[in-house]
A and B are shown apart, each in its own frame.
Chain A
Amino acid sequence: MKKLSKIYMSIVLFFLYIPIFVMVVFSFNTTKSRSVMSGFTLEWYSKLLHNELILKSLGNTLIIAVCASVLATAIGTLAAIGIVRMGKRTKAAVMQVTNIPIVNPEIVTGVSLMLLFVFFQARMNFEFGFKTLLIAHITFDVPYVVLNVMPKFRQMQPHIYEAAQDLGCGPVKSFFKVVMPEIMPGVLSGFLMAFTFSLDDFVVSYFTSGSTSQTLPITIYSMTRRKVSPEINALSTIIFVIVLVVLVAKNIIERNRENRKKNKTIDLSEQKTSRWLVIKRVAVCAVVISLVTGMFMMSNGGFKTDSDDDLTVENPAYYEKFKDSGITINVYNWGEYIPTGEDDTIDLNAEFTKLTGISVNYSTYATNEELYAKLKGGAASYDIIIPSDYMISRMIKENMLLPLNTDNIPNRKFIMDTFSNPEYDENSEYSIPYTWGTVGIIYNKDKTDLTEDEIDWDVLWNPDYSDQILMFDNPRDAFAIYENLLGYSLNTEDRKELRTSAEKLKEQKKYIQAYVMDEIFDKMGAGEATFAPYYAGDAVSMMDEYEHLGFVLPKSGTNMFIDAMCIPKGAKQKEAAEMYINFMCEPEVAYAVADYIGYSTPNNGAYELLDDDVKEDEISYPDEDYLQNHTTIFKNLSDEANLYMQTLWTDIKSDR
């Protein structure tokens, strides 16, 4: 029996530890492969320590957790003091309410708070960010404090408070002298519990954080959605090691202390659980504190030194205006859509800050629809967004964009004529093109015998490659693929055509491995799948990185898209945002963008700077004939068609 228990324990422990083991091992891997160890390196650790985004969000997480747990402890302890005095019924009712945030699914808590904040935002001058995050965290923290403090009152001798007063203490003094020490363990464990929940919360923060305050879990989430680097494994390993060390140390200390007061046994089991909780919380605090100090110490002086190759800008004086005003703009861009200083590239946002003194708060989205939802829902405010063509015209129609003041954007002159006054923004009033590109099929050359000529959209319906196909996780791109194949217009609003496409997309579902967006980068690179639709620009960078990948522009036609910079309604720093747009139009900057992300540039100045073989590249710059005859730019559909497509899409995704 004993042996059996041991075997059972070992199996469960194996299950619990295997992911951790895998993460630790691969954090030292020289390549990005996720299955084969190819060598030992500490590269990912040093990269991690230079990752300002991670450090910044770690800082945010800590500040929020500390503030929220302190405030929650204050409110919760006071609450418990009052609640014990209440009548039985009132007390029961209050406890019911206390239980709501605990038992309610997190997502409902998140959504309901988001709705509340949106409501307030529209009526008061109130913005998503630190404040909303703090309120949300306090809200789900407080009940734990109350629940931890309440039992302490029940265990307390009811007469000691009165005894203290009889012995000459005033009510306040006797409270602090007598009651406080009694409830202190409860207060403490409530505080620590609140602190841990705050540190680790993702779901509620996801719905309430807005654009400015990203916490570590949110950053991790966006990391897992893009091309993932082993940095994330390094981060996990560091956290794990610190937790381990702290816990072991704590355990030893506890054991010694236990030995010392062995004969002091008051309700042992009770003591054990509460002690256990305390250990856990203290450990986590210690972890975080040492993690932060460790990171800052190790990264000391290691922060990216200014790159040697300074940018030259057209008119340096233009950028002086906000030099010392200390303002920040919120930029919301596609994932992997700007050089960030990784892999020896230039960090454009940092350059902008250096040049103008304006800080950039940068966050990313994966689809136009996501961007739309975030803006329309009102759960965030941005100064710069970069939607695609059809989304721009939809936003113009729904009055969601501000007209640009072109006097503030002199570098507009670099934009190619073909891109001025486009159909989606007829007078180029609201948008300045950032990049353009086409959609094609990226494929794994090692896993298919099909030649480039044989690959067209229908390959995504090919049963031979069942479970080897990735598909776009957004309705507009997904429908377009089948519309191309059938020769429908990509802008069709015909219900029958949309329905037929939807049928076909539903049929495709059995061959699909996963519906993804930016994850395509990672999954195709790792060889997880054989075919995926993807944007030409990313395909170029992927092919640079992985030899086994190829890219085809389908003969049956495809979508050409233009992503352009706009300023949404509600932007707080319009002029600074225009300065940012102007900066992005600097030939050298636009060149850096095109060079890094691989997308095609609409900027004449940048195009001139490109290498000749890039200019002639069939993928980035297809010939006029293909663009004219085989590509279509999306137009905004009518509200009915949009809604219909969305319903069909949810239907497709939920089918099975």
Chain B
Amino acid sequence: MNKRKGWAQELASAPYLIWMAVFVIVPLIMVAYFAFFGDGEGFTLEHIKDAAQYGGIFARSIWLAAVATVICLIISYPLAFILSRMETKSQSTMLMIVMLPMWMNFLLRTYAWMTILGNEGVLNYLFGLVGLGPFRMLNTQGAIVLGMVYNYLPYMILPLYSVMEKIDNSVLEAAQDLGCGRTQALIRVVVPLSLPGIMSGITMVFVPAISTFIISRMLGGGSNLLIGDLIEMQFLGNSYNPNLGAAISLILMVIVLIIMTVMRQFDSSDDDRVLL
């Protein structure tokens, strides 16, 4: 390919570059603008300061998202390992069975949890049959974490599975031949090799979990606000204030950026690995 054609070829990406500039970069700049400039007031830190007063909500969101991420990791790790050690044929079937529930709309799935956890819900009915309860489960922080774990579990399983699948059984056998016990082989071989999967799993669960507003609204009863709720309230909800909303969005982006940077330190593999 000569230079001239190369130039023509690069031009093919022009629509994309323009698109991304107009609909990704410019909107983000607008968020920043709204966060720092009020209605003709000029530059101000007022909105950021206002946003800072909701530190409690930020802390709660980070905490709940972190708890959910850790639980996801704990559940998914053994599962992904078991999956990856199965026969190749049954692997895809099993994976399909694990992923099947995720094809339903997540609002519907979350709604189903409402009917299960409610005071008059299925679980409390079952408890009632054996003379227990009723327990308060819906509208608690626990319910929010449950919703996050349930909805984002596949985002953890998939990256873990795709890394572990590449670990050859002979590597494990070699470790054992060299004197490792089963557990030791797991800790010394599988964990380091699956580290990139763990890291991308963590980001893929943590980011949607920290910014959700549906799960907290449906399962948290409106009294456990998260960052997402706060943002939604400022734009389409009960306390209209786009400047404050933009400031909070900006802070959320910064939090996510920090998390990503930290995670990327561990993740040495190349960037455009398939994301799902």
- Write out the residue numbers on chain A whose beta carbons fall within 8 Å of the beta carbon of B16: 75-76, 78-79, 82, 142, 146
Given contacts A105-B211, A221-B107, contact A112 B30 (CB under 8 A): yes
A528 CB contact (under 8 Å) in B119, B252, B272: B119
> Is the beta-carbon distance between A20 and B31 smaller than 8 angstroms?
no
Shortest CB distance A519–B (Å): 9
> Is the beta-carbon distance between B13 and A83 smaller than 8 angstroms?
yes
> Is the beta-carbon distance between B252 and A105 smaller than 8 angstroms?
yes
> Is the beta-carbon distance between B275 and A369 smaller than 8 angstroms?
no
Alpha-carbon distance A465/B225, docked complex (angstroms):
23
> Is the beta-carbon distance between A116 and B30 smaller than 8 angstroms?
yes
Task: Provide the B249-276 mask, 1 if CB < 8 A to any CB of A, else 0.
Answer: 1001100100010000000000110111
Report the number of A-B residue pairs with Cβ-Cβ less than 8 Å.
321
Shortest CB distance A95–B (Å): 6
Report the nearest A residue to B207, measured CB to CB. Answer: A105
Report the nearest A residue to B50, measured CB to CB. Answer: A647
> Is the beta-carbon distance between A104 and B30 smaller than 8 angstroms?
no
Report the nearest A residue to B241, measured CB to CB. Answer: A646
Segment among A269-277, A572-580, A613-621 that sits at the interface with chain B? A269-277
- Write out the residue numbers on chain A whose beta carbons fall within 8 Å of the beta carbon of B256: 103-105
B contact patch SS: helix
- The answer to whether A23 has its CB under 8 Å from any CB of chain B is yes
Range of interface residues on chain B? Answer: 35 or more
- The answer to whether A81 has its CB under 8 Å from any CB of chain B is yes
> Is the beta-carbon distance between A513 and B82 smaller than 8 angstroms?
no
Segment among A228-236, A331-339, A346-354, A401-409 that sits at the interface with chain B? A228-236
> Is the beta-carbon distance between B5 and A171 smaller than 8 angstroms?
yes
> Is the beta-carbon distance between B100 and A244 smaller than 8 angstroms?
yes
Segment among A38-46, A371-379, A414-422 that sits at the interface with chain B? A371-379
- Write out the residue numbers on chain A whose beta carbons fall within 8 Å of the beta carbon of B13: 78-83, 86, 94
> Is the beta-carbon distance between B120 and A527 smaller than 8 angstroms?
yes
- The answer to whether B150 has its CB under 8 Å from any CB of chain A is yes
> Is the beta-carbon distance between A34 and B115 smaller than 8 angstroms?
yes
> Is the beta-carbon distance between B120 and A528 smaller than 8 angstroms?
yes
Task: Provide the A510-521 mask, 1 if CB < 8 A to any CB of B, else 0.
Answer: 001111100000
> Is the beta-carbon distance between A101 and B113 smaller than 8 angstroms?
no
Report the nearest B residue to A139, measured CB to CB. Answer: B23
Segment among B40-48, B191-199, B215-223 that sits at the interface with chain A? B215-223
Report the nearest B residue to A150, measured CB to CB. Answer: B272
> Is the beta-carbon distance between A236 and B112 smaller than 8 angstroms?
yes
Given contacts A22-B122, A224-B111, contact A272 B92 (CB under 8 A): yes
Segment among A314-322, A467-475, A487-495, A622-630 that sits at the interface with chain B? A467-475
> Is the beta-carbon distance between A650 and B239 smaller than 8 angstroms?
yes
* Interface size of A in residues (CB-CB distance below 8 Å): 129
Given contacts A36-B125, A247-B96, A276-B95, contact A654 B108 (CB under 8 A): no
A95 CB contact (under 8 Å) in B26, B120, B271: B271
- The answer to whether B236 has its CB under 8 Å from any CB of chain A is yes
Among B25, B31, B223, chain A packs the most CB atoms within 10 A around the CB of B223
Alpha-carbon distance A420/B20, docked complex (angstroms):
53
- Write out the residue numbers on chain B whose beta carbons fall within 8 Å of the beta carbon of A100: 20, 24-25, 28
Among B19, B94, B103, B122, chain A packs the most CB atoms within 10 A around the CB of B103
- The answer to whether B17 has its CB under 8 Å from any CB of chain A is yes
Given contacts A16-B153, A232-B111, A276-B92, contact A221 B10 (CB under 8 A): no
Task: Provide the B82-126 mask, 1 if CB < 8 A to any CB of A, else 0.
Answer: 100000110011111111110111111101111110111110110
Alpha-carbon distance A34/B116, docked complex (angstroms):
8
> Is the beta-carbon distance between B239 and A111 smaller than 8 angstroms?
no
Shortest CB distance A481–B (Å): 16
B213 CB contact (under 8 Å) in A102, A107, A136, A235: A107
Segment among A5-13, A356-364, A433-441, A557-565 that sits at the interface with chain B? A5-13
Shortest CB distance B260–A (Å): 6
Within 8 A of A (CB), among B158-208: 162, 165-166, 203, 207-208
- The answer to whether A486 has its CB under 8 Å from any CB of chain B is no
Among A75, A99, A235, chain B packs the most CB atoms within 10 A around the CB of A75
> Is the beta-carbon distance between A243 and B103 smaller than 8 angstroms?
yes
- The answer to whether A98 has its CB under 8 Å from any CB of chain B is yes
- Write out the residue numbers on chain B whose beta carbons fall within 8 Å of the beta carbon of A113: 23, 27
Alpha-carbon distance A138/B213, docked complex (angstroms):
23
A contact patch SS: helix
Shortest CB distance A99–B (Å): 8
- Write out the residue numbers on chain B whose beta carbons fall within 8 Å of the beta carbon of A650: 54, 230, 233, 239
> Is the beta-carbon distance between A95 and B31 smaller than 8 angstroms?
no
> Is the beta-carbon distance between A236 and B239 smaller than 8 angstroms?
no
> Is the beta-carbon distance between A34 and B122 smaller than 8 angstroms?
yes
- Write out the residue numbers on chain A whose beta carbons fall within 8 Å of the beta carbon of B14: 82
- The answer to whether A255 has its CB under 8 Å from any CB of chain B is yes
Alpha-carbon distance A432/B227, docked complex (angstroms):
39
Given contacts A269-B166, A516-B221, contact A221 B214 (CB under 8 A): yes
Shortest CB distance A287–B (Å): 7
Within 8 A of B (CB), among A289-347: none
Shortest CB distance B121–A (Å): 6
Task: Provide the A121-162 mask, 1 if CB < 8 A to any CB of B, else 0.
Answer: 000000000000001101100101011101100000000011
6 pairs of A and B residues whose beta carbons are closest in the complex: A82-B13, A514-B221, A79-B16, A515-B222, A105-B211, A112-B27
Which B residues lie at the A interface, using CB under 8 A?
1, 5-6, 9-17, 19-20, 23-28, 30-31, 34, 54, 56-57, 60, 75, 78-79, 82, 88-89, 92-101, 103-109, 111-116, 118-122, 124-125, 136, 138-139, 150, 153, 162, 165-166, 203, 207-208, 210-211, 213-214, 218, 221-225, 228, 230-233, 235-242, 245-246, 249, 252-253, 256, 260, 271-272, 274-276
Q: 15 pairs across A/B with beta carbons < 8 Å?
A: A8-B78, A16-B101, A23-B115, A107-B232, A203-B214, A217-B107, A240-B104, A273-B162, A277-B274, A283-B103, A374-B236, A475-B238, A528-B118, A528-B119, A656-B223
Which A residues lie at the B interface, using CB under 8 A?
5, 8-9, 12-13, 15-20, 22-23, 26, 34-36, 75-76, 78-83, 85-86, 94-95, 97-109, 111-116, 119, 135-136, 138-139, 142, 144, 146-148, 150-151, 161-162, 171, 193, 200, 202-203, 206-207, 216-217, 220-221, 224, 228, 232-233, 235-236, 239-240, 243-244, 247, 251, 254-255, 269, 272-274, 276-277, 279-280, 283-284, 287, 367, 369-370, 372-374, 376-377, 379, 467, 473-475, 509, 512-516, 526-529, 646-647, 649-650, 653-656
